[in-house]
A and B are shown apart, each in its own frame.
Chain A
Amino acid sequence: MTSDIENKEWLNDYPALKQVNKNNPFTVPVGYFDELGQRITARIYLEELKNKMPLSGFAVPENYFEDLNSNIQSKVNIEKALGTENTGFTVPENYFEELGSNIQSRIFVEEALKGDTGFTVPENYFEELSSNIQSRVFVEEALNIEHTGFTVPENYFEELNSQITSRIFVEEALMNADETLTVPQDYFSKLNQSILNKTVNQVVVKRKEAVIRRMFSSTAFKYATAACLMIMAGTGIILQRAFTPEAIHNRSYLHKELSNIPVGDIKTYLELDADDTQHTLNNDVDLDDVSLDDLQKNANGTEK
């Protein structure tokens, strides 16, 4: 660790660093290095002790940890077994003492029964049983496949899928069509009540007492009807007379003016002006053919 010449020359290039005192600025507690060696030695001793005795001086019996698992499990099993004594179940008296002989007796009986059951089978029955069952199964399957007795139209199963799909489509379409018809809100709830009111609850419904008037059998109605008929008949007659040609003529202005003229004046007029009116009388009515009564009637009628 000797210093070389380069180590001191490089410092001249850095004046700021060169001004710093190169002495160690750090300090240690008093006597630190005097005790450091002892403390390191003590530390090493403890480390070695720890390595030599990983259990800090405690020891365990040989193979303790190898057997520990099985020992714990045995202890647990024993605890469980002891815990079953007080489960609340009981057995008959001397049950466990007689259990061994009972089991042996039962075994003896079972073996005796197995030896001769009293039933017999044909010779080689069990040897041939397997092949017989298989043959039977084969025959049954063949019969089931070929002769079920039912037939279907040709290509039935090939078209079944599309038919089902079409049917579903139609059903859905019909359902959708039904769904388009609507009823007023709460129609069905009210309908039920309405039906009940009209049927079952009919007695319960209070109705206003109606006053029955028999109009056709009353006397007043009879008289009124007769009066109306009379009025209608009278009105009809009056109207019929009022609109006859004679009645219309009587109401005319000419008739009124003529009726004011005396009959004598009319005769005189007619006689004086016979020449002037001859032609007209000849063409229309012969004045001689008209009776005096008619003229009088006519004159009276206009006077009235």
Chain B
Amino acid sequence: MSAQVEDEEILRKFQDEKTRNEAFNLLLNKYQQKIYWHIRRMVIDHDDADDLSQDVFVKVWKNLPGFRSDAQLYTWMYRIATNECITFINKKKQKNNISLDDVAYELADTLADSSYFNGDQAQKKLQQALLTLPEKQKLVFNMKYYEDMKYEEISQVLGTSVGALKASFHLAVKKIESFLLAQD
């Protein structure tokens, strides 16, 4: 895969002090949008996604010298982004002392008020259905549905077995289908 080669190129350049900034710019150009959309689908709000994207890449910069090449670079970055999202949602829940369902309602309001959402009614319903899912099912669905990632790749990101991921995905899709049918 050309992307993997490029990852190797990026990593090689990052090891050299002289080309480190260049390597990081290549990494940003390649993954910033993927990471951003991965985060955005989880936190819905653009500003939150912007802050979290910057946090993720700052962590990537700090920890990339210790990165072991036995894992793929993008799955490693996805894992960082996923952890940042979950931490953010949990903090939001604790800060406002509200349940996960209340967080979902709040995110649904954000979705309704957001000026950076131009989807049609069906897409909006789908996002609302996704907000009713547990975090892990939502992550699995997003990575499978929107990003066409393989179960093996999702497994590396979430640290969960492929079988468990398939079950989670199946449950998520059934819930979404029921939600969409119920809304019609």
In the bound complex, how far is the Cα of B63 from the Cα of A272, in angstroms? 191
Q: Does A166 contact B (CB under 8 A)?
A: no
Q: How far is the CA of A300 from the CA of B125 in the complex (A)?
A: 166
CB neighbours of A10 from chain B (8 A): 173
Question: Inside 8 A of A19's CB, which chain B residues have their CB?
Answer: 122
Partner of B24, one of A26, A33, A41: A41
B13: Cβ under 8 A from any A Cβ: no
Q: Which residues on B sit within 8 Å (CB–CB) of A26? A: 37, 40-41, 46, 116-117, 119
| B112 contacts the other chain (CB 8 A) | no
Bound-state CA distance A10–B176 (Å) is: 14
Shortest C-beta distance, A20 to chain B (Å), equals 5
Q: Which of B27-35, B83-91, B94-102, B132-140 contacts A (4 or more CB under 8 A)?
A: B27-35
A17 B36 Cβ-Cβ under 8 A: no
Q: Which of A39-72 contact B (CB under 8 A)?
A: 39-41, 43-44, 47
Cα distance, A20 to B116, chains bound together (Å): 19
The answer to the question of A4 belonging to the interface, with a C-beta cut-off of 8 Å to chain B, is yes
Contact A17 B3 (CB under 8 A): no
Q: Which A8-27 residues have C-beta < 8 A from chain B? A: 10, 14, 16-17, 19-27
A2 touches B148 (CB 8 A): yes
A83 to B116, CA, bound (A): 69
In the assembled complex, the Cα of A36 lies from the Cα of B28 at a distance in Å of 9
B171 at the interface (CB under 8 A from A): no
Q: Which residues of A contact B (CB under 8 A)?
A: 1-4, 7, 10, 14, 16-17, 19-29, 32-33, 36-37, 39-41, 43-44, 47
> Can you pick out 24 interface pairs between chain A and chain B where the beta carbons lie within 8 Å of each other?
A1-B147, A1-B148, A2-B150, A3-B148, A14-B174, A14-B177, A16-B181, A21-B122, A25-B117, A25-B119, A25-B123, A25-B127, A26-B117, A27-B118, A28-B36, A32-B50, A36-B28, A36-B53, A37-B25, A40-B32, A41-B21, A41-B28, A43-B58, A44-B61
